[in-house]
Amino acid sequence: MKESAIHDVVIVGGGASGTALLYTLARYTSIARIALIEKYAVIGSVNSRANNNSQTLHIGDIETNYSVEKVKDVAPAASMVAHYAASLPDDIRSKILFPTHKMVLAVGAEEVMKLDERFEKIRAVFPNLRKLNRADIEEMEPLVVKGRPSHKRIVALAQMGYAVDYQRLAQSFVDQTLARTDAAGRVRIFLGSPVTDVARDADGQWKVSRANGETLRARVVVFDADAYSLLFAKRLGLGKEFSLIPVAGTFFFTKQVLKGKVYSVQEPRLPFSAIHGDPDVRVPGKTRWGPTARFFPVLEARNWKTSLDYFAVSGLHRLRTWRSFAVILLDPLRFWYLVRNVLYEIPIVAPYFFALQARKIVPTLTGADFVRARGFGGMRLQRVNTNTHELLLGEGKIIGDNIIFNMTPSPGASVCLYNAVRDMEHVLRFLGVPDAFDKVLLQKELCDPRDSLTLHDPSLETSYAS
């Protein structure tokens, strides 16, 4: 077994979150030895891959499932991605960040009332957010109004925003880090071999073992590997109270019928995104629709090899896990949502069932307009606290002794830089140098001057859900 020299920090996971932490540590601290391990040969091959996410920079303007308090946190945090991208050369930035208008559409008196109330609560956070009446909506998105009964009330909130290719964003974090003149002596990237084990050695350092027989020693380890973070935490006796509901998202394509992103009003009790239509950053001339939701007992989309890892981390051998699943999934709203989504998987007729939902956004669509987006759709494994039978929405973090495990459902990659800054604070505290970063440079490069970056992290105890 080959063993490398000791690193100050080892990051496990080469998606947007892990690479953002790599970039942040290399750019704003003087940490001497940093390593990143990615199991695949290509950066951002799992959740950050363009096929596997909504490609949206989530800031809370059209995400009606975010509380007002969360909106106030997410908006400046997600904007850090746009500020970072603005510093990149035009030819690189244009492949990562795509300006587009974003709209959330309310249909019917009840939704209209809710959206009116929400607008009043969040308009101070988004000075450019507009409330659109029927005529305004028709001007921005003609097919949203065409064919809709005139008596049906609609209203929308809209403003300019961004679509993001998060895989290319992740690669840019690596490229920008390695382009630094001092990177050769400080930063190492290990691709193409997964982590198989993490354990403490006799000296109190962490030993991170890879499938190729190599072991990296580290003073601090950070897992940014989504559901795999929980798997490795459990191996160390942490997070045993958590399980995962395996929800896979799938998509459909139509010809381009929308000019920008159009979301529908979200039901807060559902951890799954409401139907929306988006331009796809890698498939021009199409509108991508979804996501649907189905059970798929794996940790990575379309990868049955990860099913054994799902059963290892899920705790299905425990009665309390099944009891928690029953409490959560037999809630009438969630149960009928999942039953309805089964219809979207039936061959031949699935597009016609899906069209019934998509017509809420574009009334003239028919089943014949939809084709399955094969190879599209990621896993959104929803955490469950089996002690309390609660569904935990949002991000999760488990902190051990000089080790961090991050799980990053939505807004996930949108706030990757903000989460990286929070983890940077933890890492520096672990290393005994809590203030050893260039906060002035960080705020200048990544933050809007009007935003104050709050580094205090509520996860300083054991775990949290945002």
Predicted local distance difference test score (pLDDT) of residue 65: 87
* Residue 1 confidence (pLDDT) above 60: no
CA 454 to chain CA centroid, Å, is: 21
Listed residues 393, 408, 426: the one ending a domain: 393
My answer on whether 194 and 287 are in the same domain is: no
Residue 451: DSSP 8-state: -
Residue 349 sits in the same domain as residue 435: no
Number of structural domains, the chain? 2
Whole-angstrom CA distances from 4 to 37, 59, 208, 426 are 13, 41, 10, 24
Phi, psi angles (nearest 5°) of residue 10: -120, 125
Rounded CA separation 7/21 (Å) = 15
Q: Which domain holds residue 47?
A: 1-55+165-238+400-466
- Tell me: do 246 and 366 sit in the same domain: yes
176/173 Cα distance (integer angstroms): 5
10 Å Cβ neighbour count for 435?
Answer: 8
The CATH number that applies at residue 22 is: 3.50.50.60
pLDDT tens figures, 261-286: 999 998 877 766 789 999 999 999 99
pLDDT tens-place string over residues 74-127:
999 999 999 999 999 999 999 999 999 999 999 999 999 999 999 999 999 999
pLDDT digits (tens, 9 = 90+) for 125-175: 999 999 999 999 999 999 999 999 999 999 999 999 999 999 999 999 999
Q: Is the dihedral of CA 462, 18, 97, 28 positive or negative?
A: positive
Q: Which helix (H) or strand (E) holds 121?
A: helix 109-122
- Do 377 and 429 belong together in one domain? no
Q: Residues 296, 387: one domain?
A: yes
Query: Do residues 411 and 388 both lie within one domain?
Result: no
The helix or strand, by DSSP H or E, that contains position 261, with its residue range, turns out to be: strand 261-264
Q: Are residue 436 and residue 422 in the same domain, yes or no? A: yes
Q: Using DSSP, state whether 324 is helix, strand or coil.
A: helix
DSSP tag of 18:
H
Q: Which of 329, 361, 393 is the last residue of a domain?
A: 393
- For residues 388 and 280, state if they share a domain: yes
Query: Would you state the pLDDT for residue 364?
Result: 98
Mean pLDDT of 293-310: 94
Choice between 461 and 353, residue whose per-residue pLDDT is larger? 353
Concatenating the DSSP letter of every residue in 197-233 gives EEEE-TTS-EEEEETTSEEEEEEEEEEE-THHHHHHH
Q: Residues 290-300: what's their mean pLDDT?
A: 92
Residue 59 · residue 161 · CB < 8 Å: yes
Residue 127 domain-assigned (yes or no): no
Residue 319 placed within a domain: yes
The CA–CA distances, whole Å, from 99 to 47, 112, 129 equal: 22, 27, 15
The pLDDT score that the predictor gives to residue 91 is: 97
Q: Is the pTM of this model over 0.85?
A: yes
Burial of residue 35 (number of CB atoms within 10 Å: 0-12, 13-18, 19+):
buried
Domain edge (last residue) among 365, 393, 421: 393
Please provide the distance, in angstroms rounded to a whole number, between the alpha carbons at the two ends of the chain: 40
Residue 82 lies in a domain: no
**Domain assignment present for 80:** no
- Identify whether residues 343 and 436 lie together within a single domain: no
Average pLDDT over residues 192-204: 95
In percent, how much of the chain has pLDDT > 70?
95
Residue 139 lies in a domain: no
The per-residue pLDDT for 3 is 61
Same domain, 230 and 357: no
Rg of the chain on CA atoms, in Å? 22
